Amino acid sequence: MRPDTLEKAKNHRGFLVAAATVLLSLTMMLLVSACGDSGSSDGSATSPTVTGPLGKLTRLGPAAIEMLDDKSDVTGSENVQVRSAIDINWVRIEQQGENLTFTMDLGGPLPSAMAPSNAAEWGFILDVDGDGVPDWLLYQSNDSTNGWTAGLFNPKTKERLSGAQLPGTASHEGTDIIMTINRATIGSPQTLKWFAYTNVFVKSSTSTEPLQAGDRLPGNAAPDNSANWQVFP
């Protein structure tokens, strides 16, 4: 699914799909649509300090987990301007009542805007029925055409709830991405498997192919092998 030429990659939907495919092997997904309204807003959350073994799940209670990632472990091109902003420091998932909150802390400040033909995405892949296949993608993205957007996408049904249709809240500030959804929106699972990811897709002035880079946690997680995904709660 990689574009044959950079000209094809200039299409908004095309270059995001190409980036996600190359970095995450999500051949069954369309990650972000060209959505004009934004589902994210600046919040005022303060980043907590996360400690614990790298790449190991820490249970904070009956309905809260966190995982710390290696620093500077982004893979892909070195020549991307937002490399630190796609380097995952840690993630946390919490359930409060019927709401699930997903937090991702990055190694550098999030970009307020992207350069022309550039796009970045931060999100969580969820398997809610235990069949080893992604059921939902919860994401925030920032691209040079639409700015910041947030969404929830089902790769099986192709249902996408983004912008004002997002069934929850999304915010980004400093180095944090925060998203909250109602558990019923994804089928009220008692448990779910997850992994976190970031990716960036950058037009190159020196290459006929676009530059890509990204990170994921846990590092050995892959869409076609949920045995390596983490379990919540």
Percentages helix, strand, coil for the chain, rounded to the nearest 5? 15, 40, 45
The span from the CA of 117 to the CA of 159, in Å, is 26
Domains in the chain, start-ordered, CATH in brackets?
Answer: 6-42+58-217 (2.60.40)
Cα–Cα distances (Å) from 32 to 13, 53, 71, 129, in that order, read 7, 33, 27, 23
96, amino acid identity: Q
Q: How far apart are the first and last CA of the chain?
A: 34
Residue 48: is the preceding peptide bond cis (ω within 30°)?
Answer: no
At 210 the pLDDT is: 72
* Cβ–Cβ under 8 Å, residues 148 and 170: no
The span from the CA of 215 to the CA of 122, in Å, is 9
170, amino acid identity: A
* pLDDT higher at 163 or 169: 169
The span from the CA of 129 to the CA of 191, in Å, is 9
Average the pLDDT over each of 118-132, 148-162, 172-186, 209-223 and give the range with the smallest value.
209-223
Alpha helices in the chain (DSSP H): 6-9, 12-24
Quick one: how far is CA 133 from the chain centroid?
Answer: 17
- State both tokens at 152: 């929830």
Q: Does the pLDDT at position 94 exceed 80?
A: yes
pLDDT digits (tens, 9 = 90+) for 12-45: 333 333 334 433 434 233 333 333 333 333 333 3
The pLDDT > 90 percentage for the chain reads 48
Q: What average pLDDT score do residues 195-213 get?
A: 80
Overall residue count recorded for the chain in this entry? 233
Strands 64-68 and 119-127 come out as unpaired
